[in-house]
Chains A and B, each alone.
Chain A
Amino acid sequence: MLVPLSWYIILSAVIFSIGVFGFLARRNLIIMFISIELMLNSVNISLAAFSHYLQVMRGQILVFFVITVAAAEAAIGLAILIAYYKNNPTIKVDEINLLKG
């Protein structure tokens, strides 16, 4: 049975929404980080689905770039997180409030 395109797009939209919700509602930096990865991967699902149904390769090319950039982003993000944690051991967003006004 062929899975229709709309299923993929709905799946992608649902996962993206879960990611947005997780980023905005959860107060733990690691969970927020995972939410961002969720959002990026939901985009990958829709790009791959569109690319397959339209028979245009550009979407799949972009998927590879997104995966690569997401890896670089994870490396930099975790490095920043560790640099922060060394000086200020907390990963709760509410306690990150040195800068405000």
Chain B
Amino acid sequence: MDFGAGFSLIDIRPLTPEITMICTGLILLLLDLVVKKKEAIAVLGIIGTIVAIFATYRLYAFNETRSIFLEMFALDGYANFFKIIFYINVILTICISFRYMKIEKASIGEYYALLMFATTGMMIMASAADLIVLYLGLELMALSTYILAGLMRKQRKSNEAALKYFFLGAFSSAFLLYGISLTFGLTGTTNIQDIAGLVSSLSIADNAIMHLAVVFLIVAFGFKIALVPFHMWAPDVYEGAPTSITAFMSVGPKAAGFAVLGRVLFEAFGDMQIMWSSILVPLSILTMAVGSIIALAQTNIKRMLAYSSVAHAGYILLGIIAGTTDGLISSVNYLMIYMFMNMGAFAIVIMLRSEGFQGEELEDYKGLAKTNPAAAALMLVFMFSLTGIPPTAGFIGKFYVIMEAINAGDMYLAITAVVFSVISAFFYLRVVMYMYMNDPKETVILTKSPSMTFALALTTVMVLVLGVFPSVLLNLVRSSIIS
């Protein structure tokens, strides 16, 4: 089929995963009107995602590394690897929210459709080869997550979370746009690859306005990945949003933020590496410090995990600061591992929520090992992994980013990371202490479901397997990014 101007239907083939996800979302929206059992909609959402995975795999297997739509949309290993993270993230989120949304009385079809749209936004961000596409993907993701955070309309906490997330998110996207507009004004293009060439050929790498543009872009992405001092929204939003959405938000938008941060800084502003890494170094130290230290004072587990996810953003940043391909690989590797351990921890938090019992306070974990030994053992694995204790995957993730920091000569950064990692052990292991060394206050009834068991099994197996055989994942990341 010919659409004129040399454009044919075959050109949209690299877009099949995104089209699949959007169509799934739209079908779910329509089915919501007629289908009474919302579980059926959720299952359909998982099926749609699996089709999208298959489409990505087909494109990947044919090694179609190319840019389409006038170089606006890139299909490369880097984007594909991030898409795998987003697919697993959305599948795990759907799995852990089956029963939970029913208990929260927010089991509506839009929930699953919005998850699909948010994931599509992330996929577009990962593939964006142009700042315009990047902006659109980011907004699609952000607008969907604002609604998801406020999905429990009757609850004040959820309302407040959505409100705060919306205001700070919209504020940060204005910064992104101002950064894009300055970059466009100086280089005359919005294409990430062309910007790199123009920055060196026009020799504007030392231009003050160019630096300002990069700072604005870092601020905007910093909001999305919750870097200190742009993390103010994270604890409030994580606490107020439905727990399944907290799990979704703590992985998806963060990974997508890192995807665009890595692509923009490495590809477009590769010549200005000294400049942007000098901005990111203090941000990274602050992020690790604030995340680890404030988490010590939390009594709500969702809030504690929010600060923990802030701290983890600081560790992931180490690989980006290193500025090498190996550094980027270690960051992406960490993101994948972080997804499994964080999702697992949130799955346990969700299991504690039952009819008439919030299960969000740390006190609620007292004596969990006596009443529910299996759940306590799994939580132990995830807490060990988040701390970074071998043989769990969390250790491997931290090991590689810290090693890359040392290889890049940032010895003090590596030492800081280790110190704050030790401090963070205190609040992770406090949960373990509550579970194993205290007597149960009241009998906690866990909300179990087959899909939850599946999610827990997958995350636990991945955390342990990747901890023992780290090269499997690392080789996959390496082959994706270097291609």
Q: Which residues of A contact B146 (CB under 8 A)?
A: 76-77, 80
Set B132, B181, B182, B303: member contacting A65, Cβ < 8 A? B132
Give the residue name and chain of the A residue nearest to B190 (CB): A58
B202 nearest CB across to chain A (Å): 12
State the interface size on chain A (CB cutoff 8 A): 42
Residues of chain B touching chain A, judged by Cβ–Cβ distance below 8 Å, are: 131-132, 135-136, 139, 143, 146-147, 150, 153-157, 159-164, 166-167, 170-171, 173-174, 177-178, 180-182, 184-185, 188-190, 235-236, 239-240, 297-300, 303
Whether A32 touches B185, Cβ cut-off 8 Å, given contacts A62-B190, A87-B159, A101-B235, is: no
Smallest CB-CB A-B distances: 6 pairs: A39-B174, A50-B185, A99-B236, A84-B159, A43-B177, A54-B188
Question: Which residue, A12, A32, A83, has most C-beta atoms of chain B within 10 A?
Answer: A83
CA distance A51 to B181 in the complex (A): 10
Q: Which residues of A contact B163 (CB under 8 A)?
A: 29, 80-81, 84, 96
Q: Do A43 and B159 touch across chains, with their CB atoms under 8 A apart?
A: no
CA distance A51 to B466 in the complex (A): 49
CA distance A61 to B191 in the complex (A): 13
A87 nearest CB across to chain B (Å): 5
Chain A interface, DSSP helix/strand/loop, else mixed: helix
Q: Do B156 and A88 touch across chains, with their CB atoms under 8 A apart?
A: yes
Q: Do B178 and A43 touch across chains, with their CB atoms under 8 A apart?
A: yes
Question: Which residue, B131, B136, B178, has most C-beta atoms of chain A within 10 A?
Answer: B178
Contact residues, A32-91 vs B (CB, 8 A): 32-33, 36, 39-40, 42-43, 46-47, 50-51, 54, 56, 58-59, 61-62, 65-66, 69, 72-73, 76-77, 79-81, 83-84, 87-88
Q: Which residues of A contact B177 (CB under 8 A)?
A: 39-40, 43, 66
Q: Which residues of B contact A46 (CB under 8 A)?
A: 178, 181-182, 185
CA distance A51 to B184 in the complex (A): 8
Q: Which residues of A contact B156 (CB under 8 A)?
A: 84, 87-88, 98
Q: Which residues of B contact A72 (CB under 8 A)?
A: 139, 143
Residues of chain A touching chain B, judged by Cβ–Cβ distance below 8 Å, are: 9, 12, 16, 19, 23, 29, 32-33, 36, 39-40, 42-43, 46-47, 50-51, 54, 56, 58-59, 61-62, 65-66, 69, 72-73, 76-77, 79-81, 83-84, 87-88, 96, 98-101
A51 nearest CB across to chain B (Å): 8
A85 nearest CB across to chain B (Å): 9
Q: Which residues of A contact B153 (CB under 8 A)?
A: 83
Question: Which residue, B136, B171, B185, B236, has most C-beta atoms of chain A within 10 A?
Answer: B185
Q: Which residues of A contact B174 (CB under 8 A)?
A: 16, 19, 36, 39-40, 43
Chain B interface, DSSP helix/strand/loop, else mixed: helix
Mind listing 19 A-B residue pairs with CB under 8 Å? A32-B167, A36-B170, A39-B178, A46-B178, A54-B188, A56-B189, A58-B189, A58-B190, A66-B135, A66-B177, A73-B139, A77-B166, A79-B147, A84-B156, A84-B159, A88-B160, A99-B157, A99-B164, A101-B235
Q: Do A58 and B154 touch across chains, with their CB atoms under 8 A apart?
A: no
Whether A83 touches B157, Cβ cut-off 8 Å, given contacts A9-B185, A43-B181, is: no
CA distance A99 to B136 in the complex (A): 30
Set A9, A65, A73, A83: member contacting B136, Cβ < 8 A? A65
Q: Do B240 and A99 touch across chains, with their CB atoms under 8 A apart?
A: yes
CA distance A69 to B121 in the complex (A): 13
CA distance A54 to B135 in the complex (A): 21
CA distance A85 to B180 in the complex (A): 34
Q: Do A80 and B236 touch across chains, with their CB atoms under 8 A apart?
A: no
CA distance A43 to B174 in the complex (A): 8
CA distance A36 to B146 in the complex (A): 16
CA distance A81 to B150 in the complex (A): 10
CA distance A93 to B298 in the complex (A): 23
Give the residue name and chain of the B residue nearest to A79 (CB): B147
CA distance A58 to B300 in the complex (A): 47
